[in-house]
A = this chain, B = another copy of it.
Amino acid sequence: MDREASTWFREPITDHLYQACRITGIAFSGQSEFQTIEVMDTLEFGRILVLDGKTQSAESDEFIYHEILVHPAMIIHPAPRRVFIAGGGEGATLREVLSHSTVEEAVMVDIDREVVEVSRRYLPSWHLGSFDDPRTTLLHQDAGAYLKDAEAPFDVIIIDLSDPVKGNPSALLYTREFYQLALERLTPQGVLAIQAECADYGRTQAFTAICNTLGQVFPQVYPYHLSVPSFSGDWGFALATLGPDPTLVSPKEVDQAISTRITRPLRAYDGVTHQGIFTFSRAVREVLEAETRVLTENDLLVVT
């Protein structure tokens, strides 16, 4: 057996499948009020943040995840000024949002103060100081409660929640009730973007349920996807909009918007990428269309 094969982080993907990567260190390991928090150093993905046993993002490819989560929504909006982020503890979603020169205020609500503290200390290349940007308002409370009482509406809402494994409080925000709240707090041209779990054929149960639930609330929902290796496969996202249709924006228009509005260089997202991510294979399109489940506070999403 391999001499180097000493220490491994093992992550369940489904009940019958797991992925394991070699680790060289455990930078932090603790338990917050809401979840277990671990920061590990891996040989495959660099440093990773793990909540309740699930990888949230990895040094090697968090740029893919965060750029693809944030920019399509921001780009198809004519000029996003106020942005709301639900979750997003690492601060990298905030980083991408703040890279848009149009943004005047970013409100980030992550219920778990400890995740943010750990990220601040151990994941500096994720947040790049975004928590301290003067445009940032950082709060630790239930995102639903915040939205309910929010006065001014938002141009863009980014839902960047941890995986709703059994017992994780994020499950309550993967519901029609929360999406309804979000809808009511969007400006007329508003766009919502959400990380929507695995999009791999055969493991799309959460993804299709989230998309279908969004469709109960929003007039237009556009599922999209891109492979995020540290999540062990193709990852699902969705845009839900009150107006703009992302598939009508040409690669050229995307590239132009990037160059005029975004103040830092991108590595994963551009016009061609935008064009590709909204297309699914026939096999996945069929399960997306066939989905009937609506997630509610009485029928919560749970992943392995």
Residues of A participating in the B interface, judged by any CB pair closer than 8 Å: 1-26, 29, 36, 38, 40, 42-45, 50, 52-53, 60-61, 63-64, 68, 165-167, 199-203, 226-227, 229, 232-234, 266-270, 272-273, 275-277, 279-283, 285-286, 304
Contacts and interface: CB of A to CB of B under 8 A. Distances in A.
A240 B267 CA distance: 27
A164 to B, nearest CB: 13
Closest 6 CB pairs of A and B: A276-B279, A1-B12, A16-B43, A227-B234, A16-B22, A16-B44
A267 B270 CA distance: 30
A45 B202 CA distance: 9
Contacts of A268: 201, 281-283
Contacts of A17: 19-22, 44
Which of A13, A17, A277 has the most chain B CB within a 10 Å cutoff?
A17
A202 B226 contact: no
A5 B54 CA distance: 11
Contact of A25 (B26, B202, B282, B286): B26
By DSSP majority rule, is chain A's interface helix, strand, loop, or mixed?
mixed
Contacts of A201: 61, 64, 227, 229, 268
B5 A53 contact: yes
Contacts of A52: 3
30 contacts: A1-B15, A2-B2, A3-B167, A4-B53, A6-B10, A6-B11, A6-B36, A7-B38, A8-B8, A8-B9, A13-B19, A16-B42, A16-B44, A17-B44, A19-B19, A63-B283, A64-B201, A200-B229, A202-B229, A203-B229, A226-B281, A227-B227, A227-B233, A227-B234, A229-B233, A233-B233, A270-B282, A273-B280, A273-B282, A279-B279
A113 to B, nearest CB: 21
B267 A282 contact: yes
A304 B283 CA distance: 29
A5 B9 CA distance: 8
Given A52-B3, A61-B201, A281 B269 contact: yes
Contacts of A233: 227, 229, 232-234
Nearest to A225: B227
Given A7-B26, A8-B8, A229-B233, 20 more contacts: A3-B53, A6-B36, A6-B53, A7-B23, A16-B21, A18-B20, A19-B232, A24-B26, A24-B29, A25-B26, A44-B202, A63-B283, A64-B283, A68-B281, A227-B234, A266-B282, A268-B281, A268-B283, A273-B280, A276-B279
